Amino acid sequence: MRVIGIETSCDETGVAIYDRDEGLLGHALYSQIELHQAYGGVVPELASRDHIRRLIPLLRQVLEQSSTSRAQINGIAYTGGPGLVGALLVGASFGRSLAWSWGVPAVAVHHLEGHLLAPMLEAAPPSAPFLALLVSGGHTLLIRVDGIGQYQILGETLDDAVGEAFDKTAKLLGLGYPGGPALERLAAQGDAGRFRFPRPMTDRPGLDFSFSGLKTYAMNTLQAQGGTSSGETQGDEQFRGDVACAFQQAAVETLAIKCRRALQQTGLSRLVIAGGVGANSSLRERLNLLGQELGVSLYYPRLEFCTDNGAMIAYAGCLRLEAGQTEGPAFNARARWPIDELQGLRAEG
């Protein structure tokens, strides 16, 4: 079975082709970062319009890259949600129309299931059951995965997602959008011993997170030292680096504390890290240490598949289509879509 995956949930247009026997045959990504940079964040209407412009050239590119003709395609998978509804509608209507005109089935893929399963595209994929830490711009979740579609949420953020906290703190530090990678670079110059930020919600039992206070703590630290909260930080480079470093350390340590707790509570011996913040090297180093200490194996997608991409959608869609999941001709686009509403599959990949 050979499936096209289409991702348009936010600010990246991704198209990929996955073959059940041959693996990932091609993938292409167009990032809208430059388009949104001037606004300091994603402008939903601009995102939708740009997805329209990019989809056909990207599709042509992956078909060519993988020497695939349309007759070889057995299905279309598109991101059905959660995400920006206008952006989702572009991918959903494109994917559905393509499926209809090529006479193949289509399936709406849950964006977070895509992220969760991205490590399956690597050489030594994890087998279920495993614990997954899903850290993106919109979500922070600890999930117990017992099979494809069998997801139990163990903990989640009560306010900002960790990626959102990175982005907002980066803005306070006068860094551009997207803030996560820029903050990581600035933090590398910081002195880890200068400030100690709190580790939110780690002093009480439970696996939920709260990251909005960390951003406020960063703002207060900046203000107390003469920085402004408007993004025009007056502080010198070293001071800004020290704040970035303290923020990153607190975010990473908080995630590590909750992962340790979840691993100990569940007794699981495999940990998957997925989503954009999973690209953060300080988080990777910290979790690697935790893994060594607890005898837990860690699994990451390759860096380019931590952030949004079409490959993870093609993979998840292929499993669902292969298991016979079908849907009517109406297309699905859901801004909100709880992952634990997904149907489990008998076949495991």
For 182, 196, 293, 296, 334, the CA distances from 260, given in Å and listed in that order, are 27, 21, 10, 10, 33
Strand segments, DSSP code E, in 32-164 are: 75-81, 106-110, 130-135, 140-147, 150-156
118, interface contact from Zn ion, ligand KG4, none, CB < 5-8 Å by kind? none
Instruction: Candidates 136, 249, 254, 332: give the one binding ligand KG4 (CB under 6 A).
Output: 136
Query: 287 with 281: CB under 8 angstroms?
Result: no
- Which positions from 316 through 335 interact with Zn ion, judged by CB under 5 A? none
Nearest distance, CB of residue 12 and ligand KG4, angstroms: 7
Q: Kindly tell me which of 2 and 209 has the beta carbon lying closer to ligand KG4.
A: 209
308 binds Zn ion (CB under 5 A): yes
184 binds ligand KG4 (CB under 6 A): yes
Residue 327: what are its φ and ψ, rounded to 5°? -140, 165
State the number of CA atoms in the 13 A half-sphere of 341 facing the CB: 8
Place of tokens 């680096």: 241
Stretch that binds ligand KG4, among 58-66, 205-213, 271-279, 339-347 (CB under 6 A): 271-279
Query: 161 with 138: CB under 8 angstroms?
Result: yes
Nearest distance, CB of residue 59 and ligand KG4, angstroms: 21
Report the alpha-carbon distance of residue 310 to residue 47 in Å, rounded. Answer: 16
Residue 106 in tokens: 């289509």
Strand partners, 18: 3, 24
178, interface contact from ligand KG4, Zn ion, none, CB < 5-8 Å by kind? ligand KG4
Instruction: Candidates 26, 81, 138, 190: give the one binding ligand KG4 (CB under 6 A).
Output: 138
Instruction: Please give the DSSP secondary-structure letter assigned to residue 113.
Output: H
Q: Kindly tell me which of 59 and 134 has the beta carbon lying closer to ligand KG4.
A: 134
280 binds ligand KG4 (CB under 6 A): yes
Instruction: Candidates 166, 195, 211, 247: give the one binding ligand KG4 (CB under 6 A).
Output: 166
- Those residues whose C-beta lies under 8 Å from the C-beta of residue 103, and which sit 6 or more positions away, are none
Q: Kindly tell me which of 248 and 332 has the beta carbon lying closer to ligand KG4.
A: 248
Buried b (16+ CB within 10 A) or exposed e, 313-349: bbbbbbbbbbbebeeeeebbbbeebebeebeebeeeb
Q: Which candidate, 315, 183, 291, places its Cα nearest to that of 245?
A: 183
Residue 229: what are its φ and ψ, rounded to 5°? -95, 10
Residue 298: what are its φ and ψ, rounded to 5°? -110, 145
Instruction: Candidates 179, 241, 301, 310: give the one binding ligand KG4 (CB under 6 A).
Output: 179
280, interface contact from Zn ion, ligand KG4, none, CB < 5-8 Å by kind? ligand KG4
Q: Kindly tell me which of 66 and 309 has the beta carbon lying closer to ligand KG4.
A: 309
Stretch that binds Zn ion, among 13-21, 204-212, 239-247, 301-309 (CB under 5 A): 301-309
275 binds ligand KG4 (CB under 6 A): yes
178 binds ligand KG4 (CB under 6 A): yes
Instruction: Candidates 117, 256, 308, 315: give the one binding ligand KG4 (CB under 6 A).
Output: 308
14 binds ligand KG4 (CB under 6 A): no
Report the alpha-carbon distance of residue 32 to residue 51 in Å, rounded. Answer: 9
Instruction: Candidates 13, 66, 79, 136: give the one binding Zn ion (CB under 5 A).
Output: 136
Q: Kindly tell me which of 91 and 163 has the beta carbon lying closer to ligand KG4.
A: 163
List of residues contacting Zn ion (CB under 5 A): 136, 308
Binding residues for ligand KG4 (CB under 6 A) = 10, 136-138, 163, 166-167, 178-181, 184, 275-277, 279-280, 307-308
